Structure 1
Amino acid sequence: MHILDSKTVKSQLTMTMAIDSIEQLLTLQVQHPEWIKCPERLVIPTFTASDKNSGSHLSMPSVLFDGHEEFAIVKLVTICPDNPKRNLPTTTAVVSVSNNDTGEILAFMDGVYVTQVRTAALSGIASKYLAKPDSQQVSVIGCGGMAYEQLNAVLTVCPNIKKVTLWNRAAKGANTFKTQFSEQYPEWSVTIEVCEDIASAVKDADVINLATRATEGLFEINQIKADVHINAVGAYQPEMKEVSDSVIEACSHVFIDDIAGGRHEAGDLIQADAAEGCSWTWDDLSGDLADLVTKNITINQYKKGITLFKSVGAASFDAAVALKVAQKAKDEGLGQLITWG
């Protein structure tokens, strides 16, 4: 078994590798749906009976068959909202990868970066098919740990972007993001501007990345461009909301990564569907990410109107990315090799 710490995972897992592995998974899922088993993740709220900020613990199992071998991949996640005050990541996670034929554990790895990259890769894939190819500006709303790779993903698939605008509830977080992103991702030659308010950050954006724990819509339809693409990866519980009803009902297309999970967890869409004053319902959902990747649905990216991608995550996405890392570790002898049992 290869033990892979966060440093090792970061040094091996690239955004292109994650995007490719998820696109392969989605194609496989359409061609051979019986090859991928992904039960709905178990979410246990934490600290609901105390004065601490509540978080959650998640168990996310998945089984993948690639036509030759079958693997079981399990991710365990703990979300700790108070951790930024401790200078610690909000999300902690570990992932195990096993061969189902022998039961051998191939790898046990830090899952924080896997989570960040696979979540970001989903936004990258959505932007690849829904954002204007000549997009020039991206807005980042919510500058926590998830936002770094989400921006990296959009820049990976939208190479014409030259300007990034930032807004964070605490201005210090936006300024930290500006400095650290430039240092950690020197390959991107973009101008980064911190904005004092959300309206200034989103008004000229061609792509908007959202990754917050907001409980109400962050901007309205009259504050954004008529052909903007929005990636919404926060609001992962029914009571949360980042995208306002006016934006959702104005969208020409709304896509989601996991329809079954979204009906229970996608707060933006759940609330829009339930709101008496909102015309959008689940019947208006355009499709899922697999529809775009397999070209079951094609969008004219120059004549598309406003598009929205809502991500809630599914264990199969983590599995596809973690499996690639585990296989690379085995082939190249990465991490610490130990004998189990």
Structure 2
Amino acid sequence: MEILWLSEDDVRSVLTMEDAIPAVESAFAEHGLGNVQMPPKSYLYYEHGDLRTMPAYIKKLEATGVKIVNSHPGNPEIGLPSVMAVVILNSVETGAPLALMGGTYLTAMRTGAAGGIAAKHLARRDSSAVGIIGAGAQARTQIMALAKLFDLEAVRVMDRRKERARAFVSDVSGFLECECVPVSDARDACDCDILVTATPSRAPVVLSEWVRDGTHINAIGADAPGKQELDPRLLRRAKVVVDDLSQAVHSGEVNVPISRGEYRSDEIHAQLGEIVAGKIPGRENDMEITIFDSTGLAIQDIAVASLVYRRARELSIGTLLEFM
């Protein structure tokens, strides 16, 4: 028995945003229809970060497996990514491992795709200006996805490390066909149609009064208990959509306001999959503020990993390793 090893470079060679978006959107729809198995993430906590395991089964794809991923915000200071991951795909019929692949780039791409899908269903269709707070690796794939789905005219990016914001502008100039400029204040980034927050913050970086009616927000950074990027008053002004209710209440943007009695779980409008599947409406008028609370779902990883595995087999990419 052999197992296919796909390095990060192998994954990059076969995974595009054009492929990731429909794969992730289909996974959300299956989630909304109740056709997946996905236990909540499990966490191990350390002094400098955490480690998570994320299993899932998508019946429609006959795809199953688990992702193991860390979050160590201080890693860039020692030359490592904040997030690193591996994904194991297994046979549904026998349970045998089929592939082991680098999951760091995959994680960034599937999260970017999820943000694009959320904006597709929740942002105004004429949205053309994007604000970004937090110019790390995730910001890049968020704007990659949004650029595929919207006719963007301006991007404003803010990061507490100004050199990282400038580096982001230089990086995205290779594929972004619109003006992209760094700004020094988070309030300036909020002057937009679609706002992306992608920070490891444990206190609000966006105040309610900075956000105008009609804005859509992809709140990406809060993915563990205690993390928070948005003013709780903003949640009360908005239609809040989560990726998964149990995960969001435990570790999403809503987790801190709920724990403090500043917001209630029954105020959440829907899970994104329910909107994608057509069970619940998304945006209903141009004045609504909409928020997508993204915690990251294992079904996203397995859907994209399954796509990568099939493509790699077709192209004879990767290394077969003896397993048993």
Fold shared, TM-score > 0.5 on shorter chain: yes
- 1:107 partner SS: strand
Aligned to 1:207: 194
Distance 1:27 1:236, change over 3 A: closer
Q: Which runs of 5+ in 2 are unaligned?
A: none
Two-structure CA RMSD over aligned residues (Å):
1.7
Deviation at 1:13, TM superposition (A): 1.0
Q: What count of residue pairs does the alignment treat as equivalent?
A: 322
1:298-318 CA-partner distances (Å, limit 9, x unpaired) = 245652411000011121211
Query: Cα offset for 1:26?
Result: 2.6
Contact 2:205 2:231 in 1 (8 A): yes
| Structure 1 segment 243-262 matched on structure 2, within 5 A | 243-251=230-238, 253-262=239-248
Q: Give the Å deviation of 1:209.
A: 0.5
Whole-angstrom CA distance in 2 between matches of 1:273 and 1:81: 24
Which runs of 4 or more aligned residues in structure 1 lie more than 6 Å from their structure 2 counterparts after TM superposition? none
- Equivalent positions of 1:65-214 (< 5 A) are 65-66=59-60, 70-158=62-150, 160-183=151-174, 186=175, 188-202=176-190, 204-214=191-201
Give the residue type in structure 1 aligned to 2:246: A
CA-CA distance at 1:167 after TM superposition: 0.5
Question: Percent same amino acid at aligned positions?
Answer: 29
8 Å Cα contact 1:76-1:94 kept in structure 2: yes
Closer, same or farther in 2 for the Cα pair 1:95/1:299, shift >3 Å?
A: closer
Check the 8 A contact 1:63/1:72 in 2, yes or no: yes
Q: SS where residue 130 of structure 2 aligns?
A: strand
Q: Which residue does the alignment assign to 1:307? A: 290
- Structure 1 unaligned residues grouped into runs of 5+: 48-53
Equivalent in the alignment of 2:50: 56
Letter in structure 1 aligned against 2:46: T
Q: Give the Cα separation in 1 of the matches to 2:284 and 2:129.
A: 16
Query: What's the CA shift for 1:150?
Result: 1.1
The 8 Å contact of residues 123 and 283 in structure 2, kept in 1 or not, is answered as: no
**Is contact 1:56-1:80 (8 Å) kept?**
yes
Does residue 324 of the first structure (1) align with residue 275 of the second (2)?
Answer: no
Letter in 1 for 2:97: I
Residues in 1 aligned to 2:282 and 2:86: alpha-carbon distance in whole angstroms: 37
Q: CA deviation at 1:86?
A: 2.0
Give the equivalent residue in structure 2 for 1:40: 40
Post-superposition shift, 1:141? 0.4
2:85, 2:298 → 1: CA distance?
13
User: In structure 2, the residue corresponding to 1:172 is in which secondary structure?
Assistant: helix
Q: What's the TM-score, normalizing by structure 2?
A: 0.94
In structure 2, what is the Cα distance between the partners aligned to 1:169 and 1:313? 24
| CA distance in structure 2 between the aligned counterparts of 1:274 and 1:87, rounded to whole angstroms | 35
Distance of 1:301 and 1:135 partners within structure 2: 15
Give per-residue Cα distances to partners, 1:71-94, cap 9 Å, x unaligned: 331111122222111232111111
The SS at the match of 2:203 is coil
SS of structure 1 residue aligned to 2:135 = coil
Q: How many Å separate the matches in 2 of 1:180 and 1:167?
A: 14
Do 2:32 and 2:275's aligned partners in 1 also have CA atoms closer than 8 Å? no
